[in-house]
């Protein structure tokens, strides 16, 4: 199938890099299992940058534009943990305080019961942010019913509330391990969306503000991210194109209930790269050194063993076979289950963002980024 390419105006790279990235996005969007791809890369100083998008040419659908926003899925955790660290700086919360300090007993009682003992009181804010609490992921397997992940992958538009999250966690799942000793050199870690749902409620409890308001006041407003917004709000830029739709292969699926329930954001590659540059420099924080808390831990995720996890931060090693250098390189950032990514490669001083907008595409972003690194470095 033919694919069309749209490039962002003002791309500034060598002709070799431009040709390589152009071939990459066109090749990806021509794959039978994909509909489109949008990606952007930028040097740390912002001087060298490239953005482009490609989708089917033989269609009546609007062209896929690189400036179009998209549902960023779990990249949102980078924004949530930024708000958590800001609140920690302001004295609104303590990373090492039990979550029961900030949430009512109606939320915390019986949430982490293992071997007949309720261990919720041992669970801290830092446990949630580092996925070391042992809490299950409400989207994963549950007793007697298909997982929400399975329903999402099938394109079923479902909704849930925070009370549903609590009910699933208490009554249809069980913890994987005890809250970990965070003073030990290493901890067990298992990715859990439940933990970040709890973090959002803690933020709202300690600030008296909603997540959309906190996002606008403390991140997107100060950083000038006019194309990033929560689904319950609206973008600051009214002239943005329509968001790119999700797909299963080449079949479009509309999931408004899922998007309304997930508390995940919409953004653009331009905004995401600006946010990543700011975060790496520590700009969202009163003390720029606060950024080091994001990467002080690197525990392997038991349910995604190719990844290590810090504080709202993924680490992925590009091995020697795939690396653009004679040694492995590292990608530091976050991906989303719908095939979204926002990472920095410290060894190349390169930021990468993009999406393929599929209901199931968890591993593809890492292959795409590895290809981008090789193109950029040559």
pLDDT in tens, 92-147: 999 999 999 999 999 999 999 999 999 999 999 999 999 999 999 999 887 777 78
Whether the pLDDT of residue 166 is over 90: the answer is yes
Q: Is the pLDDT of residue 159 over 70?
A: yes
- pLDDT for 251 equals 92
pLDDT digits (tens, 9 = 90+) for 42-60: 998 888 999 999 998 777 7
Q: In what order do the strands lie in the sheet with 299-301?
A: 3-7, 49-56, 37-43, 350-355, 340-345, 329-336, 314-318, 304-309, 299-301
Q: How far apart are CA 212 and CA 214, in angstroms?
A: 6
pTM: 0.96
| pLDDT band, residue 1 (cuts 50/70/90) | very low
Whole-number pLDDT of residue 235: 92
Spatial distance between the Cα atoms of 55 and 198, rounded to a whole number of angstroms: 37
Between 10-19, 65-74, 277-286, the lowest mean confidence (pLDDT) is in 10-19
pLDDT at 200 over 70: yes
- Give the pLDDT confidence of 333-362 residue by residue, as tens digits: 999 999 999 999 999 999 999 999 999 888
Any idea of the CA torsion for 228, 231, 236, 241, to the nearest 10 degrees? 80
Q: Please say whether the beta carbons of 120 and 99 come within 8 A.
A: yes
pLDDT (tens digit, 9 = 90+) per residue, 230-273? Answer: 999 999 999 999 999 999 999 999 999 999 999 999 999 999 99
- Is there a contact between 228 and 275 (Cβ–Cβ < 8 Å)? yes
Q: Which H or E run includes 304?
A: strand 304-309
């Amino acid at each position: 199938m033919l694919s069309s390419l749209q490039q962002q105006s003002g791309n500034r790279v060598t002709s070799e890099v431009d040709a390589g990235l152009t071939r990459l996005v066109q090749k990806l969007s021509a794959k039978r299992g994909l509909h489109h791809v949008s990606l952007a890369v930028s040097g740390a100083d912002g001087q060298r940058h490239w953005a482009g998008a490609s989708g089917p040419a033989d269609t009546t659908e609007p062209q896929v534009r690189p400036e179009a926003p998209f549902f960023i899925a779990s990249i949102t955790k980078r924004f949530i943990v930024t708000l958590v660290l800001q609140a920690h700086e302001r004295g609104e919360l303590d990373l090492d305080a039990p979550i029961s300090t900030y949430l009512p007993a109606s939320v915390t009682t019986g949430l982490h019961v293992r071997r007949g003992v309720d261990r919720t009181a041992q669970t801290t804010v830092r446990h949630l942010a580092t996925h070391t609490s042992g809490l299950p992921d409400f989207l994963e397997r549950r007793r007697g019913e298909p997982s929400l992940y399975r329903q999402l992958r099938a394109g079923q538009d479902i909704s849930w509330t925070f009370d549903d999250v609590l009910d699933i966690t208490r009554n249809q799942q069980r913890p994987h391990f005890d809250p970990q000793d965070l003073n030990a050199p290493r901890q067990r870690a298992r990715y859990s969306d439940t933990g970040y749902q709890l973090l959002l409620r803690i933020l709202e409890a300690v600030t008296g503000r909603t997540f959309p308001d906190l996002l606008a006041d403390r991140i997107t407003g100060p950083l000038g991210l006019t194309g990033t917004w929560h689904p319950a709000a609206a973008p600051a830029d009214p002239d943005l194109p329509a968001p790119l739709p999700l797909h299963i292969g080449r079949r479009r699926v509309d999931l408004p209930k899922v998007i309304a329930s997930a508390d995940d954001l919409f953004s653009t590659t331009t905004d995401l790269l600006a946010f990543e540059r700011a975060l790496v420099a520590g700009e969202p924080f009163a003390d720029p050194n606060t950024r080091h808390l994001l990467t002080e831990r690197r525990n392997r995720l038991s349910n995604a063993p190719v990844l290590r996890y810090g504080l709202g931060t993924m680490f992925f090693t590009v091995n020697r076979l795939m690396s653009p250098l004679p040694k492995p390189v590292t990608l530091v950032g976050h991906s989303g289950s719908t095939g979204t990514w926002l990472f920095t490669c410290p060894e190349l001083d390169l930021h990468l963002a993009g999406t393929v907008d599929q209901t199931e595409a968890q591993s593809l972003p890492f292959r795409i980024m590895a290809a981008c690194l090789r193109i950029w470095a040559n």
